[in-house]
Chain A
């Protein structure tokens, strides 16, 4: 069985038979009959998105609870400059590699995530504490300016405007197995970090003063979470682009928050729900392509699906949903009447 792109098993399936094929191939994979190199493009997309969901579920819950999502938004923007700078800094070391090969090589990405994470946080802190600028304005000023610098450098360096556009839109159809290993590596990194620091993150989120008093390095943990966020942004860079990854950070914890009050359950739910949503979106994107002959951006679709899921949960969540509450009130009212 030779699975080239042209003979993708998902080539002309609609929404429902997509899942048929998927489960069939999943079964094959479990039996060991599906070598890794036969992964179809759709499957890579699904796996990359699920990996992203995993990474961002771990981080997102803390970002939302710590009210740091705007810093995450800032990071998503500055990651572009981080990548350009890292590339320019490390370029002398990789002269033999061409632009296309090394533009996103792992070393560059690691440097980039550190650069942009630290640069954004440091500059913002500097503006707030040294220049005494109000916090919202300093965040807004720093990341938009750094992003502008990133766009200019990318455009001048590559003499091409489209890379800048692709950077914020993502190009999920161009993913290959390298991206899969990158996303896997970042997910593993996040998992390890959270395995060791979970207590610290939890304590410093809910009671930073207490965390400081028992000797936890609160500001180090903050920087650390920023760097992890930057790494996740980079993993998402090619798949969904730097702006849309914000939905992965913010959307799932908000969804999960409607369903539970416990942190661990919240993290678990904010992985499972969007993972299902991602698979659904890839299938839907394929369906639209096959049935209506219209290619649409899968990354845009994922974001819309997440938003839709959140809106549905707002209405129908078991305890906190609007409609659920109305129905409950009605039931209580009727009970009162019948007595």
Chain B
């Protein structure tokens, strides 16, 4: 049996996990933006682990009043997780402020001792109440399969609450994050906003652990926010993109954890959703880190390469123009004069030909009219810049190197400004004529 994409939203068994995990991931990736911008990502790690004893204790205590599958149960367990995570936060705060324990050590201590407490409590019910124990373990790596329609409502409500709070506090959070003292000077109650942000963080973590799991929750706060940081420039857009990425990861993670066992013909295997969701999110984040239009690593590298190639093209044109050979030059001659390998030169020549700056006759390259114009422009920029530097008081023997670089960088506007500034000069410091743009000597 196999499901189509639409089934994940309509099928009565599948729609609750799908929608539920989408809602959860949106809320965690929205709050993640604040966490990442404030450089408190590792607080998320500590707080998510700190919620584990709450879950274990909550399930153990509540199991006395509810059956594990009843409706109030899920919400009550989340409440316990919230309280326990909050206690963890208070303890971290206490250790840091009262006892001067270092930031990282306090986080790690609270993280591991709370988690240990959780393990202890969980082990108490492991043998006696296997069904409840399974409920507790589901929160470790995330498991959405057992969610029902009521969970959609619960998580939708929690998501709406998160969004509304974020929306109401948006201005304050923005101002306090980027300019704290300005925020305080215009009378923002920073203590209130800080507390609200921390509570919101705890809430987002507690919302997310059902699908992402206690252990991987921190990643889900970081990955979408980091990805959207790469793609956007304003805080508002960052929130939106992060939410979208969160939603995509929530859906894909859920989809994979249902479908992969089918592909592997191991239908009994229940793949935890948490790793799948997080892997999707960090894959998207990796893509953003590499290929984001402006900040991406590969994009930046390509831009550098393109610039280098452009410089080489312009240098070749310049050399051809200076030599003024009517019969043209051979590939080998260009290669040796430009210090390039013959393969690279061939590539550059192809590019110049395709741009129409060169023509070819009997294996000899000849500058076309268009190419001549371009070369004149480059030389003009070079000599203008030399003149400008001399005008600034530089020695005229030393301006050539700088002009070699600037000739590829100067824009037409700058060229015009330089021309006006130097009163449309005709000769450069070395008494070479400065060629005119249009070809008039």
Contacts of B264 in A (CB 8 A): 156
A219 → B minimal CB distance (Å): 19
A147→B274 CA distance, assembly (Å): 11
A151 → B minimal CB distance (Å): 4
Contact pattern, B 208-228, Cβ under 8 Å of A = 1, otherwise 0: 000000011011111101100
Contacts of A241 in B (CB 8 A): 119
A254→B271 CA distance, assembly (Å): 38
Is the CB of B127 closer than 8 A to any CB of chain A? yes
In the complex, the answer to whether B112 meets A304 with C-beta atoms within 8 Å is: no
Contacts of A64 in B (CB 8 A): 102, 105
**Which A residues between 34 and 81 are near B, CB-CB below 8 angstroms?**
64, 67-70, 72-73, 77
**Which A residues between 216 and 242 are near B, CB-CB below 8 angstroms?**
241
A237→B40 CA distance, assembly (Å): 28
Q: Which residue of B is nearest A150, CB measured?
A: B275
B264 → A minimal CB distance (Å): 7
Contact pattern, B 103-121, Cβ under 8 Å of A = 1, otherwise 0: 1110111011101111111
In the complex, the answer to whether A141 meets B105 with C-beta atoms within 8 Å is: no
Q: Quick one: which of B105, B218, B274 contacts A140, CB cutoff 8 A?
A: B218
- Chain B contact patch, size range: 35 or more
Contacts of A7 in B (CB 8 A): none
B75 → A minimal CB distance (Å): 25
A295→B270 CA distance, assembly (Å): 27
Is the CB of B282 closer than 8 A to any CB of chain A? yes
Contacts of A307 in B (CB 8 A): 109, 113, 116-117
In the complex, the answer to whether A159 meets B216 with C-beta atoms within 8 Å is: no
**Which A residues between 272 and 321 are near B, CB-CB below 8 angstroms?**
294-297, 299-304, 306-307, 310, 314
Contacts of B215 in A (CB 8 A): 77, 144, 147, 168, 243
Is the CB of A136 closer than 8 A to any CB of chain B? yes
A149→B278 CA distance, assembly (Å): 9
Using known A-B contacts A148-B216, A155-B272, determine if residue A303 contacts B42 with beta carbons closer than 8 Å: no
In the complex, the answer to whether B140 meets A299 with C-beta atoms within 8 Å is: no
Is the CB of A164 closer than 8 A to any CB of chain B? yes
A159→B267 CA distance, assembly (Å): 10
In the complex, the answer to whether B282 meets A164 with C-beta atoms within 8 Å is: no
In the complex, the answer to whether A254 meets B119 with C-beta atoms within 8 Å is: no
In the complex, the answer to whether B226 meets A296 with C-beta atoms within 8 Å is: no
In the complex, the answer to whether A168 meets B140 with C-beta atoms within 8 Å is: yes
Contacts of A130 in B (CB 8 A): 297
In the complex, the answer to whether B222 meets A140 with C-beta atoms within 8 Å is: yes
Is the CB of B65 closer than 8 A to any CB of chain A? no
In the complex, the answer to whether B219 meets A145 with C-beta atoms within 8 Å is: yes
In the complex, the answer to whether A303 meets B112 with C-beta atoms within 8 Å is: yes
Is the CB of B59 closer than 8 A to any CB of chain A? no
A72→B105 CA distance, assembly (Å): 10
A220 → B minimal CB distance (Å): 22
Using known A-B contacts A69-B104, A70-B108, determine if residue A141 contacts B120 with beta carbons closer than 8 Å: no
Using known A-B contacts A145-B279, A254-B101, determine if residue A300 contacts B219 with beta carbons closer than 8 Å: no
Is the CB of A165 closer than 8 A to any CB of chain B? yes
A1→B303 CA distance, assembly (Å): 78
A313 → B minimal CB distance (Å): 10
Contacts of B36 in A (CB 8 A): 134, 137
Chain A interface helix/strand/loop/mixed: helix
Stretch at the interface among A101-109, A184-192, A244-252: A244-252
Using known A-B contacts A67-B102, A67-B105, determine if residue A159 contacts B119 with beta carbons closer than 8 Å: no
A251→B105 CA distance, assembly (Å): 9
Q: Which residue of B is nearest A307, CB measured?
A: B113
In the complex, the answer to whether A133 meets B226 with C-beta atoms within 8 Å is: yes
B263 → A minimal CB distance (Å): 10
Is the CB of A30 closer than 8 A to any CB of chain B? no
In the complex, the answer to whether B141 meets A151 with C-beta atoms within 8 Å is: yes
A151→B289 CA distance, assembly (Å): 24
In the complex, the answer to whether A67 meets B104 with C-beta atoms within 8 Å is: yes
Is the CB of B61 closer than 8 A to any CB of chain A? no
Q: Quick one: which of B113, B137, B221, B271 contacts A304, CB cutoff 8 A?
A: B113
Contacts of B127 in A (CB 8 A): 295
In the complex, the answer to whether B41 meets A137 with C-beta atoms within 8 Å is: yes
Q: Quick one: which of A70, A156, A169, A247 contacts B113, CB cutoff 8 A?
A: A247
A310→B112 CA distance, assembly (Å): 13
B248 → A minimal CB distance (Å): 16
Contacts of B109 in A (CB 8 A): 247, 250-251, 254, 307, 310
In the complex, the answer to whether A304 meets B219 with C-beta atoms within 8 Å is: no
Is the CB of A131 closer than 8 A to any CB of chain B? yes
A45→B207 CA distance, assembly (Å): 38
In the complex, the answer to whether A136 meets B116 with C-beta atoms within 8 Å is: no
Is the CB of B130 closer than 8 A to any CB of chain A? no
Contacts of B270 in A (CB 8 A): 161
Q: Which residues of A contact B (CB under 8 A)?
A: 64, 67-70, 72-73, 77, 127, 130-131, 133-134, 136-137, 139-141, 144-145, 147-149, 151-152, 155-156, 159, 161, 164-165, 168-169, 241, 243-244, 246-247, 249-251, 253-254, 294-297, 299-304, 306-307, 310, 314, 322
Question: Which 8 residue pairs are nearest across A and B when measured between Cβ atoms?
Answer: A303-B116, A144-B219, A300-B120, A297-B123, A300-B119, A307-B113, A148-B275, A246-B112
8 additional A-B pairs beyond A70-B108, A151-B274, A247-B112, beta carbons within 8 Å, are: A140-B218, A140-B221, A141-B285, A144-B45, A246-B112, A250-B109, A300-B121, A304-B120
6 CB < 8 A contacts A-B: A64-B105, A70-B108, A73-B108, A151-B272, A247-B116, A251-B109
